[in-house]
A and B are shown apart, each in its own frame.
Chain A
Amino acid sequence: MTAPLLEIDRLSIGFKTDNGQAVTVVEDLSLTAAEGETICIVGESGSGKSVASQSIMRLLGENAFIQQGEIRFKGDNLLNKSEKELRRIRGKDIAIIFQEPMAALNPVFTVGHQLREAIKLHSKRKGREAKEYAIDLLRRVGISRPESIMNGYPHTLSGGMKQRAVIAMAIASKPQLLIADEPTTALDVTVQAQILQLLKRLQEGSGTTIVLITHDLGVVAEMADKVVVMYAGQIVEQADAESLFDRPLHPYTQGLMHAMPSLQKAAGANDERLLSIPGTVPALNRLPQGCRFHTRCAYTQECCKQSTPPLAAAGENRLVRCWLAVPPTGIEQNATAGGNAI
């Protein structure tokens, strides 16, 4: 069997804070993505989902450091690559798009110029050929008048059009892995639907693997094959999309699902109160002892306050980090192993 396209193996990432301390923002994260798969990483702000995704491209700031683990792309550990080697991978084999498209667009160059740059950098196309390919790409991302967009500057485009232009740039080199960090969060639902449909179509055409980072369970329901739920820097649940929505196992996942006001709920059910999760996500430098969710959980028991539950198998292809789903008796050793990693 060949190695999966992307393997993140027990990755921990720390941030140095101003007062010289270090906080772990992503802890012991493992996940694999096969070719053509869409993996969604869901979580609230501060869950570590964006840091995890940016680490794949080694885009983390100066104050971040890898504490342990490997990120293997086609079997190669990206963490051992030199900056020069990385530059060859970035944008070519792995592309990333952000919530804010202006993060990827230079305001002083036309869209066409930037798109041609991206094309020239990663392929042999030059001059006229590059221009034609650029127009073709814009058409593929659903821009109806690509010639006029080519000559326009980014600020003349709407948010949805900018995001399309960024996607065009990202797919220019036919990447095998596309990381999308909240790509539709800043957009209207109508434009979000267009962009999500576009990503699906592009994937069907090219077999690109997508790692999609989002806080929106609706986006997950639309897009995901596999789902990773993160809370306070850790994976708390991992499952294929249908099983997760059928039966969320972790109280946090359950809470998120209940808290989501849905259009498809029955009219009567709508008059009930939304079940909210009390409190807020704890600060990473003030994490509670034991299970990180125990301060907000409705099912907290004594063991939850004492020791961190391990991410343990719960049925076929499912993992969950909760003492309720995987009772502490008999797996004490795993618990201590998980606890030591802090």
Chain B
Amino acid sequence: MDIKEVDGLTAQALAELAGAADGTALEALRVKYIGRNGMLPGLMQGLKDVPAADKPAMGQALNRFKTGVTAAVAERKAALEAVAKAAKAGAFDLSLPGRWPRRGRLHPIQQLIDRTSAIFRRMGFTVADGPDVETEYYNFDALNTPADHVSRDVQDTFYLPGGLLLRTQTSAVQARYMESRKPPVRIVCPGRCYRRDTTDATHSANFHQIEGLYVDEKVSLADLKGDIDHFARELMGPGVKSRFRTHFFPFTEPSVEVDFSCHMCGGKGCRVCKQSGWIEIMGAGMVDPNVFKLAGYDPEQVTGYAFGMGIERLAMILFGIDDIRRLYENDVRYLAQF
């Protein structure tokens, strides 16, 4: 076989390889040309019969055959694999629903308890706790509510055996906490309260409040305003302001009701704020001197402010909940949206 014939064979092999239809055909061609029992060993064998002068050229031709075929096999193999992979890729369905066992969520009331507590914690308040079952003393007497005063009618109360009651307000924690330590006091107390209200879209006999109490030397109503303004902005948005209206609570003097400017309309008036531009959020005031005296604090030495707000009411305002009962119905299709 001369050089020309070898080169011809190379060309033929490359052409056949390029046309190999699949892996099997490709393998057959590889075996035929460069396999252990294929053409290449025979050709190499024939090299020794080539005249010496032609040997280098023949050697190069055989080398071209070997490397050319080897490269062509690899190339064709890669090409065939690429085609196969592309064909497979179509069967990999990216649109199938993703898989992860489940997702957890906090109840919206809990979310708001956590959100409000977090804001107050940042302001240096400690989260305190008190019992749901209270005595008349802590729920009323220690909060300066006279036994025969009309305000005991305002909050109709659930009673339990042993002369106990279900607290009607988280304010009941105030006296308990003050009795247990000396000023300064800076606490918030989120918790459950109960009132003998008929449950409807906006009332719930079982509800939550968060109460705040700050007692120190020289705490003023203006401090309360500053702190509440800050809370309003953190909770509802940077532009939100608060305003105070004179009110009455037995345990604070002066007492105020606090409105926040409407976070939805910025105070222009909308459905959420009933066109008033303001939303009633909490009751607050300066701790009544009698409350201090009953707790063993000297009202000449310390002053303090207290505030309290309803968590359900906040949830309704912030989440746009139309009916308070949905919060206790626990339909997961509703709860999972918060």
Q: Do A and B come from one complex?
A: no
